[in-house]
Structure 1
Amino acid sequence: MTTTPAGWYPDPYGSPLLRWWDGSQWTDATHSREQPGGAQPEAGQTVPGGAQGGNEGDFPTQAGGPQWGSAPQTAQYPLPGFGTPPPKQSSPWPWLLGGLSVVIVLALVAAAGLFLFRGQSGGAVAGTNTETTAPPLDHTVPPQETEPPAQQLPELPQPSDGRISDPVTGLSYAFPGDPWAVPKAADINNPNNQRMPLWSSGYEALSQQNFDGKNGDWVASVFAAPLPEFFPYSGPQDLRNLTSGVLAAYEPFFYSPQHTRKIVSNKAIKVSGRDAWMTEFEMDFTEESQRNGWKFKTEKGAFILVDRGAGQQPALVYASVPDNLDQSVLQQVVDSLQVS
């Protein structure tokens, strides 16, 4: 994948500052936005796929295709210089303290293959003990370590009267019927990864089986969930920047093949009178598609955040459909979206 050059970019964590992107990761260096002539991308601009910095309103995603995982990228161009760039961070932890960071990518990787590809490791480093004194004998039997029981996930709601009603988010939206189907909750969710959405409703359709020759299926997706607590939210004023942050965080995971992205629209909307923000985009996989003989070349999608009131994380809607399926489903979902 191509990468965005190092530079100052609008902070993807939602602050009014600029944050330094060192060419491979966000750093903890920030700077005031007050700089004349800062170029901002408009709807319709195209940005190459890959690890890129954050931008208000424009961010990456991984379409209903296979992979809940990749590196952040956004429709963002370098701003004029602000003096000597800061040194590259040697550790991703400062980024975690700032908000969305490379740590998100590392943490999300654990769940990346679960949804779109449907298939992950851990370990500890033992310390060296220089103590030579033997511990006192203890004849008691140590308790057996047991793994915590697997969390039972409630199944996703089935359609009724042509609609899906989500009891968790309070959202409801149109169900288009065949070839779309509601998947098993365990097939799309990893409750152990709190940085990924825990989808509480939705449906998907097969775009291409075994598209990668490794038993990975590319699918179209329409899903809803409460926005993970990992993303800080204080009210409707955060919706724009937060939608951009969500796109930046999840694009690498949902659209890992090399691609370019175009922001189609980035705007405030109302859902049953509630404040909401929608970022629509188009991912272009044409070069990879022609090289690999895929059935799809482009994919249209959207991230929508809907405010649910004080003290609650907004509802997240993710919809993405490749061009070898009926893409009118996207507009059907947007037009039919309601809050109960």
Structure 2
Amino acid sequence: MTTTPAGWYPDPYGSSLLRWWDGTQWTDATHAPGQEAGAPQAPQQAPQQPPQQAPQQAQQQAPQWGPMNQTAQWGPINQTAQLPVPEFGAPRRTAPVWPWVVGGIAAVVVLALVIGGAVIVLRDRAYTASARPDVNTTAPQLDQTVPPEQEPQQSVPPLPQLPQPSGGRISDPVTGLSYAYPGDKCQVPESKNINNPADQQRPLWTSGCTETSQANYDGRGNDWVASVYTAEVPQIFPYSGPQSLGQLSQAVLLTYENDFYGIPHERKVLRNEALTVSGKQGWIFEFEMDFTKVSEANGLKWKKEKGAIVLVDRGLNARPAMLYVSVPDNLDQSILKRVEDSLQSQ
């Protein structure tokens, strides 16, 4: 006897999902095309039709699956819909016996023909499956049951080349900001090492320099550094004009704080006020991060770090420019004030 191999097949109940056939019956396990899935852990009892022979009646009465926290019309969503059962009853009036005898003989003949045809079909299918070397008798992966969906290719902007210092300053042609170069100990990093143009949730830094505070501070090859960067404020932050710069500066820090300072710390606000940069409205949010507890427990070279986010309005048709500065206390923290005081905007 040949059975249909267990695997994910198009749902015979008419939904857009794939349903698991365990080799003898349909189960409740489903998943959306395009998602990786293996064999389910515990298949549930379900109707007994193989995938290629799902009855038309079941397709017409297939349930319309909704969100997983909703309930189907006939019961909880984790139950399998049962096929309708025909009604039986005694005939309303008696009839002569001989037509039943003749009909029974005819039914036996028809049934024999049907069974013989089914045996031939199943035998041919079994031979075809055994003759094909590419037939997989184990649970197929998702890409073996349905063609993968082609995701639209999105254009990724090229990485900006970070400008080198000139005349003791670094000028960012994208944001129009420029600031004093902190000194020869600071190095301009490669753009590919600090940017991911496909990630539009994070700033795309268009100028910057760094100085190492502690190399391999975590024992996994990561360095802790002082940072000076500029970028346009990402599109994920709504902007309605200079009056929203104060809230925007705090939102930027809260959004990226865990990324910029990824070890336990306490934060203290040092300055939070409006300012003017080359005649343009702006805002400065200055803070101090305290890592003392973690530093003493792990032998880090720094205990506190001062930083600032400075935003500069460029008009409603342009995103605000952003300066981010952060310097640990084992380096020269006067860098923070020198960069802030030297900031200019075109």
Is the aligned partner of 1:168 residue 2:78? no
CA deviation after TM superposition for structure 1 residue 263, in Å? 0.4
Q: Structure 1: how far apart are the matches of 2:244 and 2:152? A: 42
Query: Corresponding residue for 2:191?
Result: 185
Structure 2 matches for 1:100-249, cutoff 5 A?
Answer: 125-126=35-36, 132=52, 151-249=157-255
1:105-127 CA-to-partner distances (Å, cap 9, x unmatched) read xxxxxxxxxxxxxxxxxx95258
1:166-214 CA-to-partner distances (Å, cap 9, x unmatched) read 0000011100212101100110001111010000001111000000111
Aligned length: 211
1:55-85 CA-to-partner distances (Å, cap 9, x unmatched) read xxxxxxxxxxxxxxxxxxxxxxxxxxxxxxx
Residue identity over aligned pairs, in percent, reads 55
Q: Structure 1: how far apart are the matches of 2:262 and 2:173? A: 31
Q: Structure 2: how far apart are the matches of 1:220 and 1:255? A: 11
Is the aligned partner of 1:304 residue 2:310? yes
Q: Structure 2: how far apart are the matches of 1:229 and 1:258? A: 28
Selected match of 1:325 from 331, 334, 340:
331
Query: Corresponding residue for 1:287?
Result: 293
Higher relative contact order (CA 8 A, sep 6+): 1
By percentage of residues, which structure has more helix?
Answer: 2
Query: Corresponding residue for 1:55?
Result: none
- Give the residue type in structure 1 aligned to 2:224: W
Q: 1:131 to 1:192 in 2, by over 3 A?
A: farther
Q: Structure 2: how far apart are the matches of 1:150 and 1:269? A: 35
TM-score by length of 1: 0.58
- Give the residue type in structure 1 aligned to 2:181: F
Q: Where in structure 2 are there 5+ consecutive unaligned residues?
A: 1-32, 41-49, 54-147
Is 2:226–2:328's contact at 8 Å kept on the other side of the alignment? yes
Q: 1:126 to 1:213 in 2, by over 3 A?
A: closer
- Give the residue type in structure 2 aligned to 1:187: N
- Give the residue type in structure 2 aligned to 1:125: Q
Is 2:171–2:179's contact at 8 Å kept on the other side of the alignment? yes
**3-state secondary structure, aligned to 2:331:** coil
1:213-241 CA-to-partner distances (Å, cap 9, x unmatched) read 11110011000000001101010011011
Q: Structure 2: how far apart are the matches of 1:246 and 1:215? A: 27
Q: Structure 2: how far apart are the matches of 1:149 and 1:314? A: 23
* Consecutive aligned runs of 4 or more in structure 1 exceeding 6 Å deviation: 144-150
Structure 2 matches for 1:44-83, cutoff 5 A?
Answer: none
1:251-299 CA-to-partner distances (Å, cap 9, x unmatched) read 1111121111110110101000111111100001011011111111100
Is the aligned partner of 1:263 residue 2:269? yes
Q: Structure 2: how far apart are the matches of 1:164 and 1:236? A: 25
Of structures 1 and 2, the larger Rg is shown by: 2
Q: Structure 1: how far apart are the matches of 2:152 and 2:309? A: 39
**3-state secondary structure, aligned to 2:179:** strand
**3-state secondary structure, aligned to 2:272:** strand
- Give the residue type in structure 2 aligned to 1:169: T
Q: 1:235 to 1:213 in 2, by over 3 A?
A: same
Is 2:156–2:198's contact at 8 Å kept on the other side of the alignment? no
- Give the residue type in structure 1 aligned to 2:175: T
Q: Structure 1: how far apart are the matches of 2:275 and 2:34? A: 47
1:90-116 CA-to-partner distances (Å, cap 9, x unmatched) read xxxxxxxxxxxxxxxxxxxxxxxxxxx
Name the Cα RMSD after superposition.
2.8
Structure 2 matches for 1:8-23, cutoff 5 A?
Answer: none
Q: Structure 1: how far apart are the matches of 2:317 and 2:155? A: 30
**3-state secondary structure, aligned to 1:173:** strand
Q: Where in structure 1 are there 5+ consecutive unaligned residues?
A: 1-122, 134-141
Q: Structure 2: how far apart are the matches of 1:170 and 1:327? A: 25
**3-state secondary structure, aligned to 1:263:** strand
Is 2:302–2:330's contact at 8 Å kept on the other side of the alignment? yes
Q: Structure 1: how far apart are the matches of 2:52 and 2:250? A: 56
